[in-house]
Amino acid sequence: MISGTNDTKFVQVREAFASSFADGLEHGAAMAIVLDGKLVVDLWGGYADKAKKSPWTRDTIVNVWSATKGVLATAVAMVVEQGKLAYEQPIADVWPEFAANGKGHITLNHVLSHTSGVNGADVPINDEQLRSWRPYVDALAAMKPNWVPGEHCAYHALSYGHLAGETLRRAVGKTVGAFVRENISGPLGVDFFVGVPESQDYRCAEMIEGPGCNDWLQQVLSSPFPQGCMNPTPMATSPNRRAWRAAEIPGANGHGDAVSLATIYGNICSRNSTLLTDAAREQASRMRFRGMDESFSAPTTWGAGFRLEDETYGKKASAGTIGHGGWGGTIAFGDPQAGLGFAYVTNNMLGFDAVDPRRERVIAEMYNVLSP
């Protein structure tokens, strides 16, 4: 049973969303489309828990994993537009300790395009130290890069959030969670958290480790630069613990619903954005890297923290489309040519060799409406 609303022209999108539950691919999920500032699709279905005792509701929020990186990229773009940071600026300008061991010339562009060489700590870091912020941040600041910055691209699975997040904190005096709450989620009136208040814990969906879920993780760990998923190695079910939800891990533990992510991208990709000017969005969307991501042995293109030219956005997405996916099935992106914000979130963490059919179906039907 699919719940929610959709404009009549998006009936086929609703049917495509329902098909993933009918064929057993989906357990609990939600999707949303914002078009020219208007919420035109707001759907959800399935269950928020593995035992199927708690139906997914309009209030359910879920860990969106690396889709959090796109929200952090938005926050960084806002601070850059305010003139408090610059993409070409060495991080050590605002975080002097980071200059240790030859890192004084590493810029925000390096971090946001996963080319900094600081893709993971070089000393043992446990889950508690990651959650506590400072132990992990201090380890990253002290280390020597794992490669000459700019010479390789390897996914910064966890370090991305702490590197960009600490740089933002030094520049504005606020943690990522506080900045997002005060400058993005609050003004837009959406539920997206980096650090879930205990009062909202009851809304969190239980993450389910499904078939193929860890394939990408094993690929990173066997790559030339495995540090991105070491010290610590992320676990699919970590978000089911209160300690994970409460922490600020802005590369991986944002919690929200589909409406929140679609609204954020819909705003920054609209003609009347309240978050970023067109010039600021275009600056953040400029290509920083195009080539091989050596964590996955796959081609990739990065803007300032946003994925560009990504096949998961669909064949009809415009060249200016920006966004980010999340482990197991979540995807969120914005298409400025269409004035579009889209998000699909799920608690059923699956792995696919190609594009995830759950979101591929609804994205294809969405663009059939927008550009038949």
On whether residue 238 sits in a domain, the answer given is yes
- Say what the pLDDT of residue 65 is: 98
- Say what the pLDDT of residue 355 is: 87
273 pLDDT above the threshold of 90: yes
Instruction: Give percent above pLDDT 70 in the chain.
Output: 100
On whether residue 304 sits in a domain, the answer given is yes
On whether residue 233 sits in a domain, the answer given is yes
105 pLDDT above the threshold of 90: yes
354 pLDDT above the threshold of 80: no
Query: What's the rounded Cα separation, in Å, for the pair 90 and 104?
Result: 7
On whether residue 357 sits in a domain, the answer given is yes
CATH no. for residue 54? 3.40.710.10
Buried-exposed string 90-129: b where 16+ CB fall within 10 A, e elsewhere: bbbbbbeebbeeebeebbbbbbbbbbbbbbbbbeebebeb
Confidence of residue 352 (pLDDT cuts 50, 70, 90): confident
- Say what the pLDDT of residue 335 is: 98
How would you class 315 by CB atoms within 10 Å of its CB: exposed for 0-12, middle for 13-18, buried for 19 or more? Answer: exposed
On whether residue 104 sits in a domain, the answer given is no
Query: What's the rounded Cα separation, in Å, for the pair 312 and 34?
Result: 18
On whether residue 235 sits in a domain, the answer given is yes
Mean pLDDT over residues 266-270, rounded? 98
Angle ∠(347,352,356) on CA atoms, nearest 5: 65
Mean pLDDT over residues 66-86, rounded? 98
Domain count, the chain: 1
Q: Which residues span the domain enclosing 300?
A: 2-68+177-370
* Alpha-carbon dihedral 115, 230, 94, 70, rounded to 10 degrees: 70
Mean pLDDT over residues 148-169, rounded? 98
On whether residue 214 sits in a domain, the answer given is yes
Mean pLDDT over residues 82-108, rounded? 98
- Say what the pLDDT of residue 372 is: 77
State residue 330 phi and psi, 5-degree precision: -70, 145
Whole-number mean pLDDT of the chain? Answer: 97
On whether residue 232 sits in a domain, the answer given is yes
Query: What's the rounded Cα separation, in Å, for the pair 254 and 249?
Result: 7
Instruction: Give percent above pLDDT 90 in the chain.
Output: 98
pTM: predicted TM-score of the whole model, two decimal places? 0.98
